[in-house]
Amino acid sequence: MTQEWDAGRLDSDLQGVGFDTLAVRAGQRRTPEGEHSEAIFPTSSYVFRTAADAAARFAGEVPGNVYSRYTNPTVRTFEERIAALEGAEQAVATASGMSAILSIVMSLCSAGDHVLVSRSVFGSTISLFEKYLKRFGVQVDYVALADLQAWEAACLPNTKLLFVESPSNPLAELVDIAALAEIAHSKGALLAVDNCFCTPALQQPIKLGADIIMHSATKYIDGQGRGMGGVVAGKAALMKEVVGFLRTAGPTLSPFNAWIFLKGLETLRVRMQAHCASAQQLAEWLEQQPGIEHVYYAGLPSHPQHDLAKRQQSAFGAVVSFEVKGGKEAAWRFIDATRMISITTNLGDTKTTIAHPATTSHGRLSPQERASAGISDSLIRVAVGLEDLVDLKADLARGLAVL
């Protein structure tokens, strides 16, 4: 009974509603208690009415929960809400962003398959492909994110998957997702997009032709730095494989974290709007400062892919990177002069963060690899939070003053 309490009302009323309505309401099923907010179900297992009921549920003949590695009502609400927001047929939650990527590759690729990855992806994503997947016979090559001809040229007869992060971290490069999806499909391959930096509030890759997307929910979906999690979404036929892997291997999301993320999703678009508005102001302001050599932000007309960003995203994101004059020493002086902004490599938080990519997130790359990724010693990355803009400027001005 719990599941039917107002499910009919929700399912019929949520047809054709807008993004913000889905963000607040999609996927919720109330229990007979009538709770207004979503219930948390911290349970590992479920009881059956009879032995025959247990058998029918295990056989999948009757819908219902069996074990929380398979399904959990709070987690399912989160999955249905993400699917609704991404315009995907189905979503499945994972314990972290990395386990979302792992589950995509483990479920869709086999030994002997070839995977193409954009060069500028998250550091652990590269380690996962380089150190582990290669060991299991998956062939991996890297391509410059924005270069469509290079993607096409790098495809081999056994290319199974193209994996990209757009916009990239920390330099905010983009790829034309619709064009890349066409290339992938013409080669018989799938396109997967890490949509972490935009979230569905700014970009919906599946609507642009991508086959599958994933998130680190740890970032903007939570938005307040409280928990780890991830999610994969896509067409039902592909998701069947991903769900199968997750149920077997087990890096599934805890109900408590699913609940945190549900609360995060309810404010996702207003938060993203505020993050992006401040990021735009800061990027424009930084570009005017004498100690700054270059600002990387897709909302600036100086960004080489500004027009693509306008077409593909509804806003430009909240990560602003810039090079200061004076190399690593000046960059470190700048960072150490700030007093409010948090020195940490995390992002997607209400609290603004500042980091030096060359010696942190990209510190393990060789100098040549860093240079080819465009990460110079004078680069600083700011992930803009929700503090007052005037206070952010005042704190960054402390950095500018010591250049």
Ligand X SMILES: *Cc1c(COP(=O)(O)O)cnc(C)c1O
With CB under 6 A as the rule, give the number of residues binding ligand X. 16
- Which residue lies nearer to ligand X by CB, 95 or 282? 95
Q: What is the DSSP letter of 67?
A: B
Decide: is 223 part of the binding site for ligand X (CB under 6 A): no
Rounded Cα gap, residues 244 and 239, in angstroms: 8
Decide: is 264 part of the binding site for ligand X (CB under 6 A): no
The encoded tokens of residue 207 equal 């609507």
Interacting span for ligand X (CB under 6 A) from 1-9, 94-102, 313-321, 361-369: 94-102
Decide: is 230 part of the binding site for ligand X (CB under 6 A): yes
153-157, Cβ contacts within 8 angstroms, sequence gap of 24 or more: 154/116, 155/116, 155/183, 155/184, 155/187, 155/189, 156/114
- Which residue lies nearer to ligand X by CB, 194 or 211? 194
Decide: is 228 part of the binding site for ligand X (CB under 6 A): yes
- Which residue lies nearer to ligand X by CB, 100 or 108? 100
Decide: is 196 part of the binding site for ligand X (CB under 6 A): yes
Decide: is 126 part of the binding site for ligand X (CB under 6 A): no
Omega prior to 167 cis, within 30 of 0: yes
Decide: is 194 part of the binding site for ligand X (CB under 6 A): yes
Q: Which of 96, 278, 280, 345 binds ligand X (CB under 6 A)?
A: 96
In the complex, minimum distance from the CB of residue 290 to ligand X, in angstroms, rounded to a whole number? 32
Rounded Cα gap, residues 271 and 265, in angstroms: 10
Q: Which of 90, 103, 159, 218 binds ligand X (CB under 6 A)?
A: 218
Decide: is 286 part of the binding site for ligand X (CB under 6 A): no
Work out the angle between the directed axes of helices 389-401 and 268-287 (0-180°, nearest 10). 30
Decide: is 98 part of the binding site for ligand X (CB under 6 A): yes
For residue 181, how far is the Cα from the chain centroid? 18
Interacting span for ligand X (CB under 6 A) from 17-25, 44-52, 95-103, 204-212: 95-103
List, in order, residues 6 or more apart from 226 with CB less than 8 Å away.
260
Interacting span for ligand X (CB under 6 A) from 192-200, 258-266, 316-324, 372-380: 192-200
The encoded tokens of residue 282 equal 């800061």
Q: Where are the alpha helices (DSSP H) in 128-235?
A: 148-154, 177-186, 199-202
Q: Are the C-beta atoms of residues 276 and 318 closer than 8 Å to each other?
A: yes
- Which residue lies nearer to ligand X by CB, 85 or 155? 85
Interacting span for ligand X (CB under 6 A) from 80-88, 190-198, 293-301, 358-366: 190-198
- Which residue lies nearer to ligand X by CB, 124 or 224? 124
Rounded Cα gap, residues 256 and 3, in angstroms: 19
Q: Are the C-beta atoms of residues 152 and 197 closer than 8 Å to each other?
A: no
Q: Which of 79, 86, 165, 173 binds ligand X (CB under 6 A)?
A: 165
Strands of 156-229, DSSP E: 159-165, 190-194, 212-216
Decide: is 216 part of the binding site for ligand X (CB under 6 A): yes
Interacting span for ligand X (CB under 6 A) from 16-24, 119-127, 139-147, 231-239: 119-127
Residue at token pair 């619709």: 178
**Dmax (CA) of the chain:** 75
| Residues within the interface to ligand X (CB under 6 A) | 96-98, 122, 124-125, 165, 169, 194, 196-197, 216, 218-219, 228, 230
